Amino acid sequence: MLISPDTALLEAHSISKSFGENAVLRDVDFTLKKGELVCLLGVSGAGKTTLFNILSGLMLPDSGQVLLNGVDITGHPGKISYMLQKDLLLPYRTVIDNVALPLMIHGVPKARAREKAASYFQRFGLQGTEKKYPKQLSGGMRQRAALLRTYLASDGVALLDEPFSALDTITKSAMHAWYLDIMREIDLTTLFITHDMDEAIKLSDRICILSGRPGNIICEIPITVPRPRPQDFLLTQEFLDYKRKIAENLTV
């Protein structure tokens, strides 16, 4: 607990979880500050998704606590938003009704929910898609719609599980730039999972490496390069140094 509690938005205190004999997480401590973009890196099976399920309240930890603004939200879903690996736009709802869904679930009347959702369409590059169905959108658009829905699901903390992994390289790169912009604009705090080291270094303020069995955060690597990071950042020695450092810590 090096960070003073007034700046911490989301905190996890000694989270442990086992499934039967199989201990997945042990005493995971973790803090997310307001406005940060933190990446959770780890080999498959290190418990990243389990940690996300616990943070989002979908799963109860065996021990430990999750705090949002100092309030215990352990096992209480609906407080922070969670975007799963697939975009999961519901095929039978129009784009506007998909995006407005979290508001409707929180009890906002249909018309008001749609109105509020529609007010973000321009900013998310979704104008004109309101009445369409998800199948009619391109991959990048679907992802933006899912991100807007994720954003509307809470007041500013988003957990993203490999949000860009299904996109092709060019779309992905465009989405990165767009996400960094929109995040600042709408004051979003993000914790995301990825397998892609380049993506992690390019986007994050801080990279947390989850490793071991049972999993624990074995090191945190701050990326101190200021934003916006230049296009050729990926080609610099600095970038490679970060990459080496991560690779050294990412052991099975």
Half-sphere exposure of 131 (CA within 13 A, CB side): 1
What's the CA angle centered on 154, arms 100 and 139, to 5 degrees?
A: 55
Tell the smallest beta-carbon distance from residue 129 to another protein (Å): 12
Q: Answer yes or no: are the C-beta atoms of 195 and 162 closer than 8 Å.
A: yes
Separation between Cα atoms, residue 202 and residue 194, nearest integer Å: 12
Separation between Cα atoms, residue 55 and residue 15, nearest integer Å: 10
Tell the smallest beta-carbon distance from residue 23 to another protein (Å): 23
Q: Which of 44, 92 has the CB closer to another protein?
A: 92
Q: Which of 71, 252 has the CB closer to another protein?
A: 71
Tell the smallest beta-carbon distance from residue 182 to another protein (Å): 20
Q: Which of 57, 64 has the CB closer to another protein?
A: 57
Q: Which of 113, 201 has the CB closer to another protein?
A: 113
Phi, psi for 58 (deg, rounded to 5)? -70, -25
Q: Answer yes or no: are the C-beta atoms of 210 and 40 closer than 8 Å.
A: yes
Tell the smallest beta-carbon distance from residue 105 to another protein (Å): 5
Tell the smallest beta-carbon distance from residue 236 to another protein (Å): 38
Separation between Cα atoms, residue 184 and residue 187, nearest integer Å: 5
Tell the smallest beta-carbon distance from residue 79 to another protein (Å): 8
Q: Which of 74, 211 has the CB closer to another protein?
A: 74
Q: Which of 157, 207 has the CB closer to another protein?
A: 157
Q: Which of 20, 135 has the CB closer to another protein?
A: 135
Separation between Cα atoms, residue 221 and residue 212, nearest integer Å: 17
Pull the structure tokens for residue 226.
């200021």
| Residues forming the site for another protein (CB under 8 A) | 56-58, 77-79, 81-82, 84-86, 88, 90-93, 101-102, 105-106, 132-133, 135-136, 153
Report the SS3 class of residue 176: helix
Separation between Cα atoms, residue 202 and residue 196, nearest integer Å: 10
How big, in percent rounded to 5, are the helix, strand and coil portions of the chain?
A: 35, 25, 40
Tell the smallest beta-carbon distance from residue 90 to another protein (Å): 7
**What does the DSSP 8-state code read for residue 14?**
E
